[in-house]
Structure 1
Amino acid sequence: MLCDLDNVIRFYDLAPLAELERAVGVAEGTTAEVAYAPEVDLPLLLGKITKETWVDSIASALSDQMPLTHARELGMALADAPFRADDVVVAMLRRVRRHMPLVLVTNATLELERDLESMGLADLADHVVSSARVGVAKPDQVIYEIAAERAGVAAHQCLFVDDRWENVEAAVSLGMTGVHYQGSTDLQKLLDFLPSN
């Protein structure tokens, strides 16, 4: 099983950021819209820049809407947003791993290993394929091929779970079975066939 991390296992609390956005007079979501534009986000996800440089890029992009000090504050609030693991999903994935290899496949930063450790998930998967470590990001087919190889199986033997439809489509195009994740019930349906032990 190949599984995404963010918005499947890990969830961010963006309420403090939204409060700051209201305080400086911009619409909620403005910071994320700028930060996750490919030209700003992709270098971070490919391990080419640090989180600090990413914040600089966010602040620069926002600085035409507000003073640079406010723009930097918003960038930092996003970069340092608190996160948590979904305990229900983690329990399901630990069950999966007792029966088959589990590989996390995630567009992530160079801080991923530290983040997993902070959530108590350093041992969750057999392998972790991070875009920042392999230099390629979903939905590029190469990252799926790397993940299947780490799992030790052919692509057509892989089940791929992700919250982004374009990432699922890319996996399916390689012969994988794809699941567009929208909630833990999507996983539960898949796991009903597994033994309960």
Structure 2
Amino acid sequence: MVDSIKVKINAIFFDIGGVLLHIYPNRMIQYISDATDISPAVLKKYFPSDVHEHYERGQISDDEWFAAFKAALPQPNCLKEIDFWRAWNQLLGQETDVVDIVIELKQNYPVWLLSNTNPRHIRNEIDGKYAFSQLADGTVYSFETGYRKPEKEIFKIAAGKAGADPSTCLLIDDNEENVAGSESVGFVALHYRNTTQLEQNLESLGVI
């Protein structure tokens, strides 16, 4: 629980996955497993996390990400690109009820999206398909900045884009490392666990 203290906030940044949007990594893995007959355990073992980070930094293309994923799996394998991208979209689920909080906050504050993400999910799924993407006053995405949370640089970029001093920026994120990273540059930050807790924390800060 956040101690009751009124703070000056000029911009609010929301994480996407796990906060505004339910995500289902196991559903994605299962789809690929069904398409390739490779077990979910093996798929998780060989998931190329380092290359995925490059993808989220915008350092490789969609085609290069698929090629790297396929190459990382036991060889030979029958993973088709069309099945891979269908599985990739299975990661994203429905919006959470945090979107209702976004609507309330937007009456008094600029609301931004700040996410480690990739162009495929933004371009093909999030933009235009989810209410929160239309509510946002601006976006800060890892693949556009070249930095990922919890790196300090992405938070500095976010504050700059919002035209706000970091001390007047609020981050809401479900990852404690990201919370700590934002606080290291002066952000006020809330570790999201559930909607009730978030509402209580926002009330304690005097934001709602």
SS of 1:118 mapped into structure 2: coil
Structure having greater relative contact order (Cα 8 Å, sep ≥ 6): 2
Equivalent of residue 149 in structure 2, options 138, 146, 163: 138
| 8 Å CA contact 2:57, 2:147 repeated in 1 | yes
Deviation at 1:35, TM superposition (A): 3.8
1-structure distance, mates of 2:58, 2:31: 30
Q: CA RMSD in A?
A: 2.7
Tell me: CA distance 1:179–1:194, structure 2 relative to 1, closer, same or farther (3 Å): closer
1-structure distance, mates of 2:47, 2:21: 18
Q: How many residue pairs are counted as aligned between the two chains? A: 191
2-structure distance, mates of 1:116, 1:183: 24
Deviation at 1:72, TM superposition (A): 6.2
Normalised TM-score (structure 1): 0.81
| 8 Å CA contact 1:31, 1:58 repeated in 2 | no
Deviation at 1:27, TM superposition (A): 3.6
Runs of 4+ with >3 A deviation: 30-36, 70-78, 191-195
Q: Which amino acid aligns with 1:105?
A: L
1-structure distance, mates of 2:160, 2:97: 28
Q: Which amino acid aligns with 1:171?
A: S
Residue 17 in 1 paired to residue 17 in 2? no
1-structure distance, mates of 2:160, 2:45: 34
Q: In the alignment, which residue of structure 1 is the partner of 2:192?
A: 181
Q: In the alignment, which residue of structure 2 is the partner of 1:91?
A: 100
Q: In the alignment, which residue of structure 1 is the partner of 2:89?
A: 80
SS of 1:68 mapped into structure 2: coil
* Residues 132-160 of structure 1, C-alpha deviations (whole Å, 9 max, x = no match): 11222211211101111222221111221
Residue 26 in 1 paired to residue 39 in 2? yes
Deviation at 1:107, TM superposition (A): 1.1
* 5+ long unaligned stretches in structure 2: 1-11
Residue 104 in 1 paired to residue 117 in 2? no
